[in-house]
Structure 1
Amino acid sequence: MSFFAIFYDYPADSHLIAENRPVHREFLAKLKEEGILVGSGPFLDENGGALIIIRLNENATVADAEQLMNADPFHRLGILAGRVIRKWNPVLNIFS
């Protein structure tokens, strides 16, 4: 498996994020059901943003992860201040 860390940048007090969070979470729930989503959640400091960890097939690339995450309503609606997707190697982990 290939793992990817997706960092979302948005203000902690963004009303657009709050308004669209339910459809964003529906998108993530679908990824979880498909066995793609490993974990996700917002950062709890005053800087805002969130982290999403996904797993794709062994040969997947950042471009594959990007294509998948382009369907997230937060991205489609253009309400993120930024997004970074990086391939990640969880050397020590609890993932099965």
Structure 2
Amino acid sequence: MTTFAVRLVFDRDDAARLEVRPKHREYLASLAADGRLRLAGPFADQQGAMLIYEVADRAELDAVLAADPYFDRPEPVATVDEIREWTLLPLP
């Protein structure tokens, strides 16, 4: 499995994003339940969010993101600002 850190920016229509947010959060819950989402949450300033995915590869991550209600529409309601492969260190 590969871990990816994905940073979102809320730089689009806030009203549209807030309308879609319940479906987005349901989708994230389903990904957490099947082990593909490890952590997620908005930044304190509400200008974006960080999501930590654990998936087979970048192709699976791209599919997961494409199916997210924030992005599965003609006009996405957020922007993927950065995707970085991340190595988690084992902690004692």
Please classify the TM superposition score into its range, dividing by the shorter chain length: 0.7 to 0.9
Aligned residues: 90
Distance change (3 Å), C-alpha of 1:93 and 1:70: farther
Deviation of 1:93 (Å): 4.8
When normalised by structure 2's length, the TM-score is: 0.82
> Within the alignment, does 1:8 sit opposite 2:8 as a pair?
yes
Q: Deviations over 1:44-87 (max 9, x none)?
A: 126x011110112xxx3323211211100001131113443221
Partner of 1:55: 54
Query: Helix, strand or coil: the match of 1:76?
Result: coil
Deviation of 1:12 (Å): 9.1
Deviation of 1:92 (Å): 4.5
Partner of 2:26: 26
Q: Deviations over 1:15-45 (max 9, x none)?
A: 1111111000010011011111101000112
Question: Structure 1 stretches (4+) deviating beyond 3 angstroms?
Answer: none
Counterpart AA for 2:28: L
CA contact (8 A) 2:13 2:77 kept: no
**Percent identity over the alignment?**
33
Distance change (3 Å), C-alpha of 1:66 and 1:93: farther
When normalised by structure 1's length, the TM-score is: 0.79
Unaligned 5+ runs, structure 2: none
